């Protein structure tokens, strides 16, 4: 079933993605100009969890357009993106070239990643909208554990399930209309759909949303020592009481 889900999601992320990225961020040259001016801005939410990046080997799993990885490269890291979209790769490599950094980019299903990557990275980063592409978290976290050097850190930052599974917000109104424990596989429009002129079923993805407890337990089961779990509120004033994102930092023992 995971193969079927990955096949559908990979297909969707290779349909007009480059076009959507151009519409959202501008040309690679325009995006790179902003990135070079202030790389820290692109990493704002991750910076409290990252060490000094000079000389650090970082893997950004499902790193999409590569701007976070390129920002880390501008700060001295040796960054690698692993993602299943060749259209993402195209945009990412063009931005990296404009930024004059050496960004490695592997187009691959994470769960089928070659063993040559084992124990190659000091930090593995996953951020914002990745976990829901996996029907079972254990194989994913097994790969994370393999990729990390001993003592290496795993940082996962994602949308809080309270916001994605339980509460629907519209302006200042909030409604509890979801089931926090629902394990259903859902069909959704791909993240970049609003930046496309035309949306079709080919741009839909399949997702399985996880509870915070399931994520924490899955990480701990892979000999990854959890150092901290941070939940952050929504930035909108009338949503401040609702958690927006969470970040987990764990270390390979």
> What CATH code is carried by the domain that includes residue 105?
3.40.50.150
| CB-based contact 111:143 (threshold 8 Å) | yes
- Residue spans of alpha helices (H) in 15-167: 17-25, 28-37, 39-42, 67-74, 86-99, 137-147, 161
pLDDT grade for 155, boundaries at 50, 70 and 90? very high
Higher per-residue confidence, 186 vs 156? 156
pLDDT grade for 190, boundaries at 50, 70 and 90? low
* Nearest residue to 208 via CA among 180, 181, 185: 185
Give the tens place of pLDDT for each residue, 103-133. Answer: 999 999 899 988 999 999 999 999 998 899 8
| Average pLDDT along the chain | 88
pLDDT grade for 189, boundaries at 50, 70 and 90? low
Within 13 A of 95's CA, how many CA atoms are on the CB side? Answer: 33
Q: Does residue 196 carry a pLDDT above 60?
A: no
Work out the widest C-alpha separation in the chain, in whole angstroms: 50
Higher per-residue confidence, 4 vs 110? 110
* pTM, rounded to two decimals: 0.88
Instruction: Write down the pLDDT at residue 194.
Output: 53
| CB-based contact 92:66 (threshold 8 Å) | yes
Give the tens place of pLDDT for each residue, 141-154. Answer: 999 999 999 999 99
Structural domain including 9 reads 2-43+52-252
Instruction: Write down the pLDDT at residue 15.
Output: 67
The proportion of the chain whose per-residue pLDDT surpasses 90, expressed as a percent, equals 60
What is the number of structural domains in the chain? 1
Instruction: Write down the pLDDT at residue 142.
Output: 96
pLDDT grade for 193, boundaries at 50, 70 and 90? low
Instruction: Write down the pLDDT at residue 206.
Output: 80
Instruction: Write down the pLDDT at residue 86.
Output: 87
For the segment 43-67, the average pLDDT, to the nearest whole number, is: 94
For the segment 93-108, the average pLDDT, to the nearest whole number, is: 94
Q: What φ, ψ does residue 132 adopt, rounded to 5°?
A: -70, -5
- Both tokens of residue 181? 């424990």
For the segment 208-214, the average pLDDT, to the nearest whole number, is: 94
| CB-based contact 122:96 (threshold 8 Å) | no
């Amino acid at each position: 079933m995971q193969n079927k889900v990955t096949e559908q999601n990979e297909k969707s992320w290779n349909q007009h993605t480059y076009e959507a990225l151009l519409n959202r961020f501008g040309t690679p040259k325009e995006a790179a100009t902003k990135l070079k001016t202030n790389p820290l801005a692109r990493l704002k939410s991750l910076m409290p969890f990252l060490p000094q990046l000079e000389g650090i080997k970082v893997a950004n799993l499902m790193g999409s357009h590569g701007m976070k990885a390129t920002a880390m490269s501008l700060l001295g890291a040796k960054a690698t993106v692993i993602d299943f979209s060749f259209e993402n790769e195209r945009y990412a490599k063009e931005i990296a070239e404009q930024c004059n950094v050496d960004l490695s980019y592997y187009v691959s299903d994470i769960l089928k990643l070659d063993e040559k990557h084992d124990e190659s990275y000091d930090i593995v980063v996953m951020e914002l909208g990745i976990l829901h592409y996996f029907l079972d978290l254990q194989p994913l976290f097994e790969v994370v554990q393999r990729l990390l050097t001993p003592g290496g850190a795993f940082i996962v930052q994602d949308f809080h399930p309270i916001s994605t599974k339980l509460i629907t917000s519209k302006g200042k109104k909030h409604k509890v209309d979801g089931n926090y424990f629902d394990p259903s596989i859902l069909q959704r429009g791909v993240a970049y759909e609003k930046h496309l002129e035309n949306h079709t079923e080919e741009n839909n993805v399949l997702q399985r949303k996880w509870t915070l407890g399931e994520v924490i337990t899955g990480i701990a089961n892979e000999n990854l020592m959890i150092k901290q779990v941070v939940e952050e509120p929504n930035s909108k004033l009338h949503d401040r009481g609702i958690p927006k994102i969470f970040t987990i930092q764990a270390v390979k023992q």
